[in-house]
Amino acid sequence: MTAARERDFEGHRAFVTGAGAGIGRAIALRLAEAGARVACVDLDATAAAEVLAEIRAGEGDGIAIEADVSSEEAVGRAVGEAVGGLGGLDVLVNNAGIVIIKPFAETRLEDWDRIFGVNLRSMFLTCQAALPHLRASPAAAIVNISSLAALRYTVPHVPYAAAKGGVVSLTRDLAFELGAEGIRVNAVAPGPTATAMMGRLTDDEIESSGLRFVLGRIGRPEDIAEAVAFLASRRASYITGATLPVTGGAELATRPLRSEDA
């Protein structure tokens, strides 16, 4: 059983996008473990339901919601369903994301639009839809998932890096606008993390990125979830507008140049 001191979200209601797998799943489970009732939102209804089942198996509760978070209509419906099922909202975690890895010269406008739709437009939509409900909460917090790609070059995915850079800017400006209302807005920038999305990278793509794992390992979804839980909790009550790198130090250095690269 979770220790009482760790139940930072007892009585809180959380809305987590992309909750069906990877980092989103870990976030939903971590918030539920800490006492939150969680709206598990995902494009894959089955995946969302499976995460909710895991939460309930751990004596937590929540609801599963199928939604395309790049759709204004779907987001409005999802937020309404969450508020109806949970009785309100205290925490919004914008995690849903997709990546398309290809050189810029091969990137199509459709790729750009799709990446921005899921990775940035969705955050605009969820923040707007959730804002009236967050205003009613005494402990409102928004946590957006950015990426190491917003901070430095990683692999060839210009639209993804640009969208995740937009997340940093959205977070900063929204924090400024909402701070007077007591609503905190922060971001987490994960480095390479052991998820299905990371699994799509080839060894050559990882090598060419120059990433160096300073702490000697790749990240786990649970590493990111811990950072999100901290920023969403009252323990971070004096933190807003921040982007927290959770990268194992991958942004600190690159691998030394090989002699053939010099």
Catalytic residue among 42, 48, 89, 160: 160
Helices vs strands, H then E, count in the chain: 9, 7
Tokens of 259: 């002699």
Is the alpha carbon torsion for 244, 247, 249, 251 positive or negative? negative
User: How would you class 132 by CB atoms within 10 Å of its CB: exposed for 0-12, middle for 13-18, buried for 19 or more?
Assistant: exposed
Q: How far apart are CA 261 and CA 258, in angstroms?
A: 5
Q: Is 153 a catalytic residue?
A: no
Q: How far apart are CA 216 and CA 232, in angstroms?
A: 28
Q: Which amino acid is at 60?
A: G
The answer to whether the CB of 64 falls within 8 A of the CB of 51 is: yes
Q: How far apart are CA 9 and CA 220, in angstroms?
A: 22
Tokens of 124: 């605009």
Q: How far apart are CA 101 and CA 155, in angstroms?
A: 7
Closest CA to 131 of 85, 94, 169, 168: 94
Q: How far apart are CA 33 and CA 213, in angstroms?
A: 29
The answer to whether the CB of 19 falls within 8 A of the CB of 53 is: no
Running DSSP on this structure, what letter comes out for residue 181?
G
Active-site residue numbers?
Answer: 160
